Structure 1
Amino acid sequence: MKTPKRWAIPVTVLLLGALAAPAQLDEAQVYFSVSTDKPVRPGETARVQVRAQGVDKLQFRLYRVNDPEKFFLKLDDPHRFGAEASPRPEVALTPLERFAAWKNRLRTRVRNVARRQFTGENRSAIRAKYLTPKQAPAAAGTPGAAVQGSEYAAIPLLNPQQVLRVWEQPVKSRRRWESVVVPVEVERAGLYVVEATDGKKQAYTVISATELVIVSKSQAGQVQVRVVKREDGAPVAGAALTVAVAGRGGEPSRAKTDADGFALVVPERMEDGQLLLMARHEGDFAVATKGSWGFNRAERELRGYVYTDRPVYRPGHTVHVKSILRLASMKGFEVQRGEAQIEIQDSDGESVLRKSLPLNEMGTAAADFVVPAEAPLGYYSVEVKTGEDSVSGGFHVEEYRKPDYEVRVTPRETRVEMEKENVLTLRARYYYGEPVAGAKLTWAVHRNRYWVPWYDMDDLSESGEEQDEYYGGEQVAEGEGRLNENGEFVLPYTAPRTETDQRYRVEARVTDESGREITGAGSFVATRGEFFVHAQAAQWLTKPGQNARIDVETRGYDGVFVPNVGFRAELVRYEWGRRERQTVLASSAGTTGGGGRGGGGVRAAG
């Protein structure tokens, strides 16, 4: 990663959320990032979160930003920096600029040749000797520390005159998804940049130490700002405010807070983007961002509500539509005057009503619409417009038909063992008793994992007809057919063996001669065996070396205990995220008694 020049480094700040500029991931999977989650008060210790992979320790460098306002105005995004930089547009250089660039390259080559004659430690000693006492860096680990040793010499300081502290710290966490907290003390109010490097790459974050808090509200080209003290919420009078759209350039808007800490800022330009709010007062600095959605709204916006007397109508019914319109402004709501245009579109998107309506003194308008007898069914949209603005609503047109027949799916067994056949009967009958003979049938089988109803063993005694909670799941089979003269279809189905018990849901769709489709469903459970095992630790906490008791029960799926079943209990260390089988630490064997209950003990290693 190429290191940018000193003051032009593209870094940003965390205002209210986490901020990080990660070192990029390379072929060796070396990665690290740093972030902060909130501002701190001067004298407090900031918590820098470090996430690292493939690196055990990092060198940290703390810099103080001399001009925070200029720092933020140069950023394209105040919440992102360091990892990416926008390419600069190519500009043709003048002859004078080309000559200056040649001189700079020549001077750099000469300087590098001279620097290579000395080691990194010698160069640090030479700089310390010739710098003034005010510029001379202090010992490592203290404010103003310089980089010591050659391990990190490939990454020079961003700005030696602004560095406050340099130190090394281990960053290896116990688990790769965990972060390490690096405490950083900041004594004075201001903006600080934290740089982390492993000698090849860098990552950055920002620490804001301030006693100020910025509270803001934006609407229709105006931003209302209040600056208060973080400690007690007291207003800050005379604070200098700067408001700009991040990354847009140009001259920002400025104002000062009054005696109550308030200031109204009206920027000359209204652009999309993040509003950057900065406050200065007696050497203190605070910054916040705000979305420009409310800022870029019109001074007066149309608001309204469109509704009908009923949500659903049948063909031939009369729809009564009413709308209430208001203009939203900084002062509140105003009544909309004049006329409004109403348009109703059917479910096919065709316009079925379009007319102008006068608005009364309350800003309301009403219209009636008779649904044609042959109108398409579905959702009808209603739009009411004044000028370019509009509000909308809608209603449904439906034609209800009572079902002529019902469809049922009945399994022969509500529970079967896997790899054993179950037979399901798909039956359709008219409500007056006759079968729906010869009707077309399509069926599908879905499955979900089945969990033993430990507290409700009556679950399996149901008739097998579909319950609401069994909808959905993975589709595993489908087919077509026709009902016989008795309105029935026999479907044999064998559940394959899986690692867990499954509930199978069979859905049948029957279409009669009139083309009407009715759906029915039923379900059954496929289990891995005739009984299941429930094991639970007798106590949740056990001392190392102490015997941990495990209570075991064996029960059939009908709820009856199964006696005299042998079992083996194993103690395994659990590590989150690992899918492969863990190492067995201890084990014991046992048998459930005549009542289907038993127990065993395993000793936790000391």
Structure 2
Amino acid sequence: MPRISFSGRWIIMLAVIWCLAVLGLAMAQETPVGTVEGRVTSSDTGRPIAQANVWLSPEKEDGVSKNAQTDENGGFLFSGIPAGSYTIHSSGRVHNMPPLKITVREGKLEKLNLSLKAAQPFLNLYIPQRTFLSQEKPKIVLDGFTMSEEAVITLHKVNKDKLFSGEAKFIYKILREPWSTFTRQQLLNSPALEAPTYKKVKITKRDCEGAYQQQIALDPQEAGIYLVTASVGQLEGMGWIEVSNIGLVTKENGRDLMAYVAKLDSGEPVAGAAVKILSGQKFTSPGLTNGEGIYKGRSTPLVPGEPENRLIFACQGDSIAFVTSYTTELGDGKPALYVYTDRPIYRPGQLVYFKGIVRHLSGDTYRLPQQGEARIQVQDRRGTPGYSGRFPLTRFGSFHGQFALPEYASTGEYSLACSFAGHTQTVSFAVAEYRKPEFAVTVEMPKKRCVQGEMVKAKIQAAYYFGAPVVGAEVRYQVFCADYWFWPGEEEPEWGYGDYGSNGAVVLEGKLRTNTAGAAEIPFPAQAKQAAEKNNGVTDRKFTVSVVATEPGGREATAEGSIIATQGEFKICLEPEQSMVAPGEPARFKVTAIDYESRPRSGVKLTVEASQVRWREGEESYVKVERAMVLTDADGRAGFKFKPSEPGSYRLQAAGRDEKGNQIKAFTWIWVTGRDEFSGYRYPELEVILDKKVYAPGEVAKVLINSKEKDRTALLTVEGRQLFAFRSVKLTGKSTLIEIPVPSEYRPNFYLSVGYVKDKRFISQTAEAKVS
């Protein structure tokens, strides 16, 4: 028994010694830390500065910087800061301080009082909206830091007659370039300005630093163009506003000009408005708008050596509206240029490769140029020439070349101008310094596609460029989900839609760390959170994993990886032959089953249902009117048709299952015409629907215009390689059906645009169709 007790005591003692050793080792390895606390104040007033930024930067290259924002009392706190030497810096909106060196000691609290010096006084004038009706109060914003408590606003009205007589040259520059400035001397010397009016304003919206952003409402003004100056002491801000009751919309194709003038409040067309064009410094007055508010005529050619943008004006009484035109002439026999570089961004010293293509437009086709040479000129953002050369065209009407950027090339945006037969096209590229990252991170998906609902494991790998894994890197990740649309037979068979470039909505996010191999794994279900079918949103999904990896030294690297989550092993495509039919007319649909390698699926049983859409208190419901079973043929195709008896909107659904039992659905819609308003339908501001996607030359296109605005006059234009047709359309109801002929001149495609003016906005929608 004593033997057992003796042994037990030794075991206990050894355990205690081992624990103390481990604790000592841990304490030895633990990073010593301290705390930095302080307050930020203004040196001139002594008052605390809230929401000031404070940066704490280590002197060691492998250290991690910290930043914070002060509270309402100007206080800030950095805790858990590794001991060592640091630089601290702070700035507010108008206060700043030079960097200050400090030492953080282990277990100590460093208390600081950072006194920030005020910046030099400044004043900016912002005009968020430039156009005002004559009954409106123009609004401007003063942004400044001044000692004075009063501002003086001066309005200089531009004399209309002198504006159009060529006596307002510096004003033309201001109107052409909205952010250009002018001087008080120009105001005093211009014969085009009428006697100024003044308004004094108290400055009351100062923040804790004494700076301000204050909106000022001016008195309603007579119609005209006004130069605005805001003065506080010796400081001035300048801009311009337009007071007008008319708006102007223009369409050009280089040779022809169409101008549409309408009232800014009601949108009614304005007849008899005078159209004037300023090209260079010279005005022409080509004509007046007709009873539809439309003027059609020849456009004024550009003046060599003058600004490349014209100003097009419309006038009715004292109201003036204008737009800036950057059009270039393109017509029969005129060359079309296309030039591009191999990359959008380069480093100094690198080679820039470029290629150009030249074509002549003849009728509705392009032809190769017979001969000629293209001239290339490269300039940096300051206009300094960087390269020039001449290149003869190949027999294919193209050219290519290269040039080297100097090692000392300045950074910024460069322009590459290509000239041929008196016509020029300019593209841009950037030159930037580059520092190679020390490590990279990748996101690898297990496969290209999966079925919705599967568990996906995204593999993360972080490695230094010399080959070693990045161990213990923090990986912050987000998983995005977006709709994905598969269009077989198109130029891009796997083109996906994700909110125009967005990855979609975030469905999962978190943090993790890489293991000893520099790897990590992010599991997630490939399933959208929302019940999409209720809103007819059954579709494939694109899941994107975006990661930011931070290695122990504080450096970051980013990466993304995507996987497509499909409904099943194949896709159903449901397409109407016509988007609109009349009651009693047969509505025909093409049904296709195709896999994601664009191979047809034959012998697939599909159920197709047609339902009339009903709206009640803003909610959609569906009344089934037709149902049929179809079987796909050897090409994966089938057909379905039904005859709708009532006007309105109809939803079509095709559904089937793959070999694994996954349910696959597709939806489409058609309109059945016959009413000028469908009760309960949530009409948008504007919707344009063509009855077909492809027309044969000589056919008539049916166009349905839906709008929640009744009794509006809209402008309809048909455009392609030129402005084919235009006219006004009266929207007497919320649904308006019109017809337009489709001649062969519209080949290969055309765009039909409809727009109307409401509350100083031009609301427009465009539909596209092919002609074949």
Question: Which of the two has higher C-alpha Rg?
Answer: 1
| Structure that is richer in strand per residue | 2
Do these two structures clear the TM 0.5 threshold for a shared fold by scoring above it? no
Name the TM-score, length of structure 1 as normaliser. Answer: 0.36
